[in-house]
Chain A
């Protein structure tokens, strides 16, 4: 019940295209859903996040879509750039249980020029 399932495992997108990464969860107690971006040799960095009372959040080229009834959420990267090539992790958190982030398995995104 504590799992977050992420797909696809890897993704290749042409420059200017849309990258879409999907995640699903079971535990309805999760109340915060962040996405992290990790470049090789670096730690994960918070990219964008959403709470379950919101269906969509947009920050620049990055958008989270959230479907509470389906227990699914996704990251859309518009106008993907080679600099977006990284590993992306979705995660979930139960806020009143402290900072235990439950991560998805990660998606390795490669944006081809």
Chain B
């Protein structure tokens, strides 16, 4: 168990809908990362937050947004969902400057029907 928690575990929704995925980092970790894992794209970095501020950005779609709250938990919002958004979404966390030691949560499996 990495100490990173993600909810929900599974999410099934329809095209065009909006969902929110939640992540609680390990105690003491200030950085939170979001990754998408799909069969065709593999593991792709989406975005990183550090202590509430955006720190790095990957190829995150404009329909996707994230934020990190004062209590350090993070949410990933996915809107106008498409079939191709079906994937596993992982959150990871690390100590403030230890980008090289990211601890991954168990993931949220999103299915868009």
Return the chain B residue nearest A44 by Cβ.
B104
Which of B11-19, B65-73, B95-103 makes up part of the contact surface?
Answer: B95-103
Judge whether A1 is part of the interface by a CB distance below 8 angstroms: no
Within 8 A of B (CB), among A38-66: 41-46, 49
In angstroms, Cα B35 to Cα A29, docked, is 22
Q: A44-B90, A102-B45, A103-B42 are in contact. Are A97 and B56 (CB under 8 A)?
A: yes
Nearest A residue to B33 by beta-carbon distance?
A99
A17-B101 Cα distance, complex, nearest whole Å: 29
Nearest B residue (CB) for A33: B100
Specify which chain B residues have a CB less than 8 angstroms from the CB of A104 in the assembled complex.
42
When the two chains form their complex, are residues B99 and A99 in contact, meaning their CB atoms are under 8 A apart?
yes
Q: Name the interface size band of chain A.
A: 20 to 34
**Contact between chains at B99 and A98 (CB < 8 Å):** yes
**Which A76-110 residues have C-beta < 8 A from chain B?**
89, 93, 95, 97-106
Contacts A99-B48, A103-B42, A103-B43 given; indicate if A46 touches B103 (C-beta within 8 A).
yes
Kindly state the separation between the CA atoms of A36 and B36 in the bound complex, as whole angstroms. 15
Q: Which residue of A lies closest to B46 (CB)?
A: A100
A102's nearest neighbour on chain B, judged by CB, is B45
Q: Beyond A101-B45, A101-B102, A106-B42: 5 further Cβ-contacts under 8 Å?
A: A36-B104, A93-B100, A99-B31, A99-B33, A99-B48
A-B contact pairs, 30 of them (CB 8 A): A32-B100, A34-B100, A36-B104, A41-B106, A43-B4, A43-B92, A43-B104, A43-B105, A43-B107, A44-B43, A44-B104, A45-B104, A46-B102, A95-B99, A97-B56, A99-B31, A99-B55, A99-B94, A99-B102, A100-B45, A100-B58, A101-B33, A101-B35, A101-B45, A102-B45, A103-B42, A103-B45, A104-B42, A105-B42, A106-B43
